[in-house]
Amino acid sequence: MRLLSDGSEPVGQLSPQDWMAAAETQTVIAALVADGAEVRFVGGCVRDSVLKRAIKDIDIATHDPPDRVMQLLTRAQIRVIPTGLAHGTVTAVIGPAHFEITTLREDVETFGRHARVSFTDDWTADAARRDFTMNAMFADPQGRVYDPFGGLADLAAGHVRFVGDPMIRIAEDVLRLLRFFRFFAHYGRPAMDGRALTACRKLAPRLKELSGERVAGELIRLLQAPDPAMVLLVMKSEGILSQVLPEALELSRLKMLTWLESRAMVRPGIRPDALRRLGAILVTDAAGIAVMGERLKLSAAQVARLAAIAVPKVEITLGMDDIAARRALRRVGADTFRDLVLVAWADHRSRSGLVDSHESALWQNLLDLADGWQPVELPVRGADCLELGIPPGPGIGRMLTRVEQWWEAGDYRADRAACLDYLRRVVREGDAEASPET
């Protein structure tokens, strides 16, 4: 393990940070240091502040044990939640702001995703149990950065590196294997760390030990990266992707899809979308999507959306006319239609390798149709059939289907009066074909 300092001296300084200056943050820090304890921000908030990225979570480390932390927060009239006392973690809540506060600790024994820890006052020992060097940095309330394992240099170089031996760190918690690829997708630059990649390849069979929720969470976060295609290709070539997502067989269109979503155009409703990206790479049938959804513990809504993308009910083609497009829109809805257009466009581009302005305009027209689509419903109902003397039963469905086909062929222009007139003709002719005239 490469130790660059003992963690006691700062090696850098954060620029002024709004999240550090926020009243809620200042209130929590004031409560924690009221009796002289030392506290530091740790992990993602420090890492992303260095990169000038948006801060999602604020984690704080302290010498004080969790019961003392709870006393200090309560004394300051701050709501506190004992989220993980056995591991030294409590959560402070001020309005919508949440702060996870953890006592410095070191591992005594690890087993899977769990560990028996002991509390410590050693900042470096606490940093040594973290996954990557870029996550093992601290910053005190004045913004001074402490970096015992070279996270600043690795962050600048886009080098995602484990703290210590990758084999040991992944064996302690196999979820770190997926986190390695997820972090590389968001923070890394080629090439990947060779030791880490070797460890990931050797320990990939252990991924089956993870819960579906954990796997899904990492995959979705990976797919949220600006350009996840390269990382997934590496995972595939190293035999890792097949362990967690064997259905991911169509990676070629992913790079084009991410380009369309994020750089090719600016449109309302088009933004990077991890679930759309996931659906674009799946090759299976509806039953396979259901099995995958159960394995990854996805919600019913997520499974339905993935099925709509991977096993589409309508075919989107470059040359389809507006009438065919509106028919597809009515069948699947604007959101699914938009997904399908983007995936079909990405697939076409990945196979042709050409940028054609005329073709791009045709794809954009399909997206325009989706943006302007207003759902329409057949103006006649079963009750209308009953009033015309059709007895209840399957005959009503057949009659309405005939009317609907005629209505769709006319691009939904016929109003209720015209549809009722056509329904009367269908009723008069029974099972015979009604006149196509409108």
pLDDT tens sequence across 335-377: 999 999 999 999 999 988 777 788 999 999 999 999 999 999 9
Residues 407 and 352 in one domain: no
Rounded to a whole number of angstroms, the CA Rg of the chain reads 29
**pLDDT band at residue 263 under the 50/70/90 scheme:** confident
Alpha helices in 130-238 (DSSP H): 151-157, 166-172, 175-187, 194-203, 212-223, 229-237
Nearest to 269 by CA among 363, 364, 335: 335
Give yes or no: residues 205 and 257 share one domain. no
Q: How many CB atoms lie within 10 A of CB 283?
A: 12
Helix, strand, coil shares, percent, the chain, to 5: 55, 10, 35
1 within some domain: no
pLDDT band at 110 (very low <50, low <70, confident <90, very high): low
Q: Clarify whether residues 251 and 290 are in a common domain.
A: yes
Q: Looking at the domain assignment, is residue 235 inside a domain?
A: yes
Q: Tell me whether residue 258 is in a domain.
A: yes
Verify that 18 and 79 share a domain, yes or no.
yes
Q: Which domain holds residue 98?
A: 12-157
Mean pLDDT of 300-325: 95
**337 domain-assigned:** yes
Position 2 pLDDT exceeds 90: no
Beta bridge partners of 105: 119
Q: Please, which residues have CB within 8 angstroms of residue 219's CB and are 6 or more apart in sequence?
A: 178, 244, 245, 278, 296
In the structure encoding, which two tokens stand for residue 137, read together?
């940095």
Examine the domain organization and report whether 32 and 72 are in the same domain: yes
Domain containing 64 — which CATH number?
Answer: 3.30.460.10
Nearest CA to 225 among 277, 292, 158?
Answer: 277
**Residue 38, phi then psi, degrees to nearest 5:** -95, 135
The pLDDT of residue 106 is 85
User: 333, 356, 375: which is the final residue of a domain?
Assistant: 375
Q: Is the model more confident about 420 or about 111?
A: 420
Rounded distance between C-alpha atoms, residue 328 and residue 346, angstroms? 19
User: Is 195 inside any structural domain?
Assistant: yes
Q: Are residues 298 and 209 in the same domain?
A: no
Q: DSSP letters of 50-110?
A: HTTPPP--EEEEESS-HHHHHHHHHHTT-EEEEEEGGGTEEEEEETTEEEEEEE-EEEEEE
- pLDDT tens, 50-104? 999 999 999 999 999 999 999 999 999 999 999 888 889 999 999 999 999 999 9
| pLDDT tier, 431 (very low <50, low <70, confident <90, very high otherwise) | very low
Give mean pLDDT, residues 150-170.
97
CB 105 within 8 A of CB 63: no
97-103 and 58-62 beta bridge pairing: parallel
Residue 2 lies in a domain: no
For residues 258 and 352, state if they share a domain: yes
State the chain's mean pLDDT as an integer. 92
Give the mean model confidence (pLDDT) for residues 100-115. Answer: 72
How many domains does the structure of the chain reveal?
4
Query: Is 5 a member of any domain?
Result: no
Q: Are residues 51 and 86 in the same domain?
A: yes
Alpha-carbon distance values, 179 to 32, 50, 221, 313 (Å) = 31, 20, 9, 35
User: Is residue 268 pLDDT above 60, yes or no?
Assistant: yes
In the chain, what is the straight-line distance between the N-terminal and C-terminal CA atoms, in Å?
80
Mean pLDDT of 139-144: 97
Q: Tell me phi and psi for residue 123, to 5 degrees.
A: -60, -40
